[in-house]
C-alpha cells in the first residue's frame, strides 16, 4: 500500500509524529491552506485540461476567504466536536495579516476553516478532509455550477 504524502514526508525527512491538536491554530491554517488549495487544484485539473489562466480563475473562486467562510458555515453542523474546537481556535487566533479582498469576519472564518483542513491532514484523515471540501463546495455552489 502506498503511503500518504504526510507519512512519506515524515519517513523520508525522519520527522517525529506531532499531535495536531497541540499545534497553534495559525500553524494548522498555514498547512491547511496549502492542502485545501491542492485538493481544489486537483479537482479542477482532473475535470479536464485547460489553459493555466482558466484553471487559476476556477481555483481562485474556491480559495478566497469569502468562499471558505461560506463553506465553513455550511459545514459547521457536520463537524465533530474536536473539529469545531479547532475551527474556533483558528477563527479566534490573532493574525497580523488580513486578506486584501475580504472582510475581517470572513478572513477569520476562513482561517478557522483552513485550521480544520490542516488538522485533518496532519491527523491523516484525508478522506474526511476531501469529503468535507466536497460537501462544502456542493452546499455553496452558485449558478455557474460546481467548477
| Residue 132 CB contacts under 8 Å (≥ 6 apart), including other chains | 75, 78, 116, 120
Residue 33 catalytic? yes
Catalytic residue, chosen from 11, 33, 143, 147, is 33
DSSP H/E element including 73: helix 65-75
Q: Are 3 and 11 in contact (CB under 8 A)?
A: yes
Total count of residues recorded for the chain: 147
Helix axis angle for 52-63 and 25-46, nearest 10°, is 140
State the cell numbers at 131.
469529503
Other beta carbons within 10 Å of 7: 12
Active-site residue numbers? 33
Amino acid at each position: 500500500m502506498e503511503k500518504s504524502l504526510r507519512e512519506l514526508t515524515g519517513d523520508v525527512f525522519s520527522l517525529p509524529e506531532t499531535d495536531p491538536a497541540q499545534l497553534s491554530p495559525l500553524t494548522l491554517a498555514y498547512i491547511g491552506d496549502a492542502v485545501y488549495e491542492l485538493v481544489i487544484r486537483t479537482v479542477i485539473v482532473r475535470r479536464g485540461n485547460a489553459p493555466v489562466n482558466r484553471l487559476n480563475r476556477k481555483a481562485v473562486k474556491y480559495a478566497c476567504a469569502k468562499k471558505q467562510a461560506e463553506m465553513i458555515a455550511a459545514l459547521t453542523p457536520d463537524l465533530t466536536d474536536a473539529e469545531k474546537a479547532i475551527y474556533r481556535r483558528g477563527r479566534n487566533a490573532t493574525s497580523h495579516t488580513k486578506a486584501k479582498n475580504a472582510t475581517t469576519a470572513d478572513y477569520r472564518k476562513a482561517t478557522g476553516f483552513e485550521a480544520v483542513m490542516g488538522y485533518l491532514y496532519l491527523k491523516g484523515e484525508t478522506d474526511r478532509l476531501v469529503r468535507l471540501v466536497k460537501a462544502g463546495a456542493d452546499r455553496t455552489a452558485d449558478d455557474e455550477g460546481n467548477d
